[in-house]
Amino acid sequence: MSRQAKQKLKPTPFRWRLQLVSVVILLVFGAIGARAAWIQVVAPDQLRHESDLRTLRLETSEVQRGMITDRNGEMLAVSVPVMAAFADPKLVRDGNGFEDLRRWRALADVLELDADSLIAKIRDSRGRFLYIKRQVTPAVAEYIRQLRIPGISLKPESRRYYPAGEITGQLVGLTNIDDKGIEGLERNFDDWLTGSPQKMRVRKARSGEVVENLSVVEEGENPNDLVLSLDMRLQALAYKALKRATQMHMATSGSLVIIDIPTGEILAMANTPSFNPNQRRGIQAYQLRNRAITDAYEPGSVVKPLVVAAALEKELVTADEMIDTSPGWMRVSGGLVRDGRNHGKQDLGTLLEKSSNIAMAKMALQMDVEELLAFYADFGLGTYSGINLDGEYTGNVPKRHRWSEHERATLAFGYGLTTTPLQLARMYAILGGDGVARPASILKRRAIPEGEQVLSPQVARQVVEMLIGVTEPGGTATRAAVNGYRVAGKTGTSRKAIAGGYGEDYVTLFAGLAPAEQPRLAMAVVINEPQGDSYHGGTVAAPVFAEVMGDALQLLNVEPSQGRALRGTLANNRMGSSDVVTR
């Protein structure tokens, strides 16, 4: 090959191509640099905001409601962890969640729902959140997870559980499905029990996991436990005996209250009919009522000790004074006052023991009616007890400008006014506490309140001594006697008022205290509308008192009365007793 041909075959560099590639590379890096500058300098906040919208979330911690316990730490209300099943209809549709209907039928079966209705509900929803069922047990929640239906998720929540069930139903109350108190103590102390959750700003990954805790938005507040003055041992005794008596006498309802005399604490507060807050289907409104504080009745003879105490305090009579009640009836302006029989001339203690209406009326008519009503108020009648529970009724102690003699007389034996079972128990607690009135408390006290002296200790002891005869042979309430202890108390039997007068239904009552020489417990028992021939306080309410008081004193290790050693069981004092009392 010639030299000239070889020269033609030598490659010639294309400089313009190199320059073009260089320019393109520079433009690309320039664009990248410009974009980086834009991101870092010009618009960082906007891009950071868009990122935060995708990753930043507000996380709320779960706070369980505080416990309610009795004075000894026994749980009466506690929150247990459960789950809530919910759906995101958009995710269900996007994930083809409706393809496998067998999973939906399995879901509906385990949740006790109609499958077709459930599917239609989610299909028709245009929202992003829909509850399927609340308060699902952990076992059911795990089954739902295993179904793996797109868009179906679970979130933690809590459900309230009440170990005592119907025994404390009306008192403790209940919460709604959102764990908010709606009845009883759950409602009264809702803020105290609830606390508040902590709110934190977190960064989440696409999978939903928290990758970074950023800041605390709102500090939480721990829930508080509620310690009651209640003693569940006594509460269970009270409810069991009250329920049995209510059923035995086919009564409409019943209430029982026990107060610790030295402190004013309520150790038991039972009502029938009750309800089980753990099983809410079929609960009626009347079952929710705490009748010990909401229902008021004419107390009948139960208030007669107050008339005696007032007369002794004002020195209108003496403890051994003889009062003539012959011939067993007394005409007063506006009506007639009668005794069950002619008691003749007897001392004050015997007439109280025999429950003489005439003796009480005579003493009441010697007093100014306003003074007597003020004395009743000092003992808690017509006033709040200090328990501070929603729904508490003060009863009705009338205030008038003019009173007939008959109206004044009937006040002395418990007609013309109404009281609650709690008020009656507190009245006898004041008598047993040497005339010192302390506010009642359903919460366990750290210190005993000083109280107010509303009756001289000497008179209080005199009245208590007189009331011992009521439960001893010859009294109107021998069935209220407690083996080994001296009991002071009073029966009450009152007709229920109807439009235009009084009907044929009765309220039977017994209120008392024990041991009489050093009173520890005061108790009131009310049985409303017992059916049958037995409807007196001495035959219906007194046996309940004896049963519960006897067992309560033994449980609390209260020393028996001197000269009254315990003899075996308390069976002879209970409803099977052969003693028959007609008042």
> Is 301 one of the annotated active-site residues of the chain?
yes
State the burial class of residue 207 (Cβ atoms within 10 Å of its Cβ: 0-12, 13-18, 19+).
Answer: exposed
DSSP symbols for 273-285? S---TT--TT--G
CA atoms of 324 and 326, how far apart (whole Å): 6
Specify which residues 464 forms β-bridges with: none
Cβ atoms within 10 Å, residue 450: 8
Cis peptide before 273 (omega within 30 of 0): yes
Of the candidates 300, 165, 152, the residue with the CA atom closest to the CA atom of residue 232: 165
What are the two backbone dihedrals, phi and then psi, of residue 74, each rounded to the nearest 5 degrees? -75, 130
CA atoms of 513 and 509, how far apart (whole Å): 14
User: Which CA distances in Å does 559 have to 262, 471, 554, 563?
Assistant: 15, 19, 8, 11
Specify which residues 262 forms β-bridges with: none
- In 219-294, beta strands by DSSP E: 226-227, 253-260, 265-272
Rounded to a whole number of angstroms, the distance between the first and last alpha carbons of the chain is: 151
| Greatest pairwise CA separation for the chain in angstroms | 169
CA atoms of 541 and 249, how far apart (whole Å): 10
CA atoms of 413 and 410, how far apart (whole Å): 5
Tokens of 518: 């050093």
| 8 A C-beta contact, residue 492 and residue 512 | no
| Sign, Cα dihedral of 107, 109, 110, 114 | positive
Of the candidates 582, 492, 476, the residue with the CA atom closest to the CA atom of residue 541: 492
Instruction: Give the helix ranges, DSSP H, for 10-98.
Output: 15-37, 44-55, 89-94
Specify which residues 431 forms β-bridges with: none
| 8 A C-beta contact, residue 60 and residue 197 | yes
Specify which residues 287 forms β-bridges with: none
Of the candidates 535, 515, 330, the residue with the CA atom closest to the CA atom of residue 432: 515
What are the two backbone dihedrals, phi and then psi, of residue 462, each rounded to the nearest 5 degrees? -60, -45
Tokens of 245: 């008596």
Tokens of 57: 């979330």
What are the two backbone dihedrals, phi and then psi, of residue 454, each rounded to the nearest 5 degrees? -105, -10
Exactly one of 153, 158, 301, 561 is catalytic; name it: 301
CA atoms of 562 and 560, how far apart (whole Å): 6
Tokens of 130: 């829909």
| 8 A C-beta contact, residue 284 and residue 464 | no
Q: Residues with catalytic annotation?
A: 301
